[in-house]
């Protein structure tokens, strides 16, 4: 077969090849909980995720586009650019905690978070949404309304939901930093364990 033949074949298959490559990208889109805040980045749950993927022979590249202090408004403003740059097949959305802690209007938080999820879905990615909880001093009504945001978005958009990202960590002072908001390095393996059962069904060998 001639060189021209193979060039033509490549041109026909290139879009499919590019798509297959993008399916192998996991985008982490979050705030300081996903940036290894307060300790070496190699100890953060995102780095541990990379190691686990290799260990379990999943051929994926992880792109961490998380920003410390990020709100859903900030995330919404940049999600499309990040999606275009990363071309992910899976997007892990870990946002909303800063909105809740700052007392941002919950309707705005819900609207922004849903827009982020929809953008990822429209880009052809699977979405894993990580739900957050607020401390008890915010009052039962506000806490329940905040919790319901994640459940409603997950159900309406049919995406996987981690019920509480900080399960087993937030209520353990030995695993939390002095600010009571950010987990320590020692908590990062548990954070990954909270995510893994929901992420694994989205992975392919």
**Digit-coded pLDDT (tens) for 146-177:** 999 999 999 999 999 999 999 999 999 999 99
99 catalytic? Reply is no
Across 121-139, average pLDDT: 96
Selection from 152, 52, 58 nearest residue 109 by Cα: 152
Q: What's the CA gap between 94 and 30, in Å, rounded? A: 4
Q: What pLDDT, on a 0 to 100 scale, did the predictor assign at position 23?
A: 76
158 inside domain: yes
Q: Range with the lowest mean pLDDT among 7-16, 22-31, 66-75, 134-143?
A: 7-16
**pLDDT at residue 3 tops 70:** no
Give the tokens for residue 113: 């978070």
53 inside domain: yes
CA distances from 117 to 16, 74, 88, 90, 144 (A): 24, 14, 13, 11, 21
DSSP 202: G
**pLDDT at residue 58 tops 70:** yes
**pLDDT at residue 114 tops 90:** yes
22 catalytic? Reply is no
Q: Give the whole-number percent of the chain exceeding pLDDT 70.
A: 89
**pLDDT at residue 4 tops 80:** no
Which pLDDT band holds residue 22 (cuts at 50, 70, 90)?
low
Across 110-122, average pLDDT: 98
Structural domain tally of the chain? 1
Q: Looking at 31, 32, 99, 119, which residue is catalytic? A: 32
4 inside domain: no
**pLDDT at residue 92 tops 70:** yes
Domain that holds residue 120: 17-63+77-198
Q: Looking at 31, 66, 99, 182, which residue is catalytic? A: 182
Residue-averaged pLDDT of the chain: 91
Give the tokens for residue 131: 């739900």
Coil, strand or helix: which one is 60?
Answer: coil
Across 36-61, average pLDDT: 98
Here the CATH number for the domain that contains residue 132 is 3.40.50.1110
Selection from 176, 170, 23 nearest residue 90 by Cα: 23
Q: Quote the strand ranges of 21-171, DSSP E.
A: 25-30, 61-64, 90-94, 126-130, 160-162
155 inside domain: yes
120 inside domain: yes
Compute how many other C-beta atoms are within 10 angstroms of the C-beta atom of residue 63. Answer: 18
Residue 37 neighbours by CB under 8 Å, 6+ apart:
68, 182
1 inside domain: no
5 inside domain: no
Q: Range with the lowest mean pLDDT among 7-11, 102-106, 198-202?
A: 7-11
CA distances from 46 to 30, 34, 41, 165, 196 (A): 11, 7, 8, 13, 11
Q: Looking at 40, 141, 173, 179, which residue is catalytic? A: 179
33 inside domain: yes
Q: Range with the lowest mean pLDDT among 17-21, 78-82, 111-115?
A: 17-21
What crossing angle do the helices spanning 72-86 and 106-122 adopt, rounded to 10°?
10
179 catalytic? Reply is yes
């Amino acid at each position: 077969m001639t060189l021209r033949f193979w060039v033509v074949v490549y041109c026909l298959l290139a879009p499919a090849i590019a798509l297959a490559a993008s399916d192998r990208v996991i985008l982490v889109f979050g705030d300081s909980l996903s940036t290894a805040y307060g300790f070496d980045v190699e100890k953060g749950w995102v780095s541990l995720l990379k190691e686990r993927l290799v260990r379990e022979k999943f051929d994926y590249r992880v792109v961490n586009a998380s920003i410390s202090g990020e709100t859903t408004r900030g995330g919404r403003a940049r999600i499309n650019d990040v999606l275009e740059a990363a071309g992910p097949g899976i997007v892990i959305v870990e946002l909303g905690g800063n909105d809740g802690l700052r007392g941002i209007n919950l309707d705005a938080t819900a609207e922004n978070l849903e827009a982020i999820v929809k953008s990822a879905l429209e880009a052809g990615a699977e979405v894993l949404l990580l739900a957050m909880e607020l401390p008890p001093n915010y009052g039962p009504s506000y806490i329940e309304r905040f919790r319901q945001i994640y459940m409603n978005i997950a159900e309406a958009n049919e995406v996987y939901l981690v019920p509480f990202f900080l399960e087993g960590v937030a209520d353990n002072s030995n695993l939390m930093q002095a600010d009571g908001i950010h987990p320590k390095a020692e908590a990062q393996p548990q954070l990954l364990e909270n995510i893994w059962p929901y992420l694994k069904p989205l992975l392919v060998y």
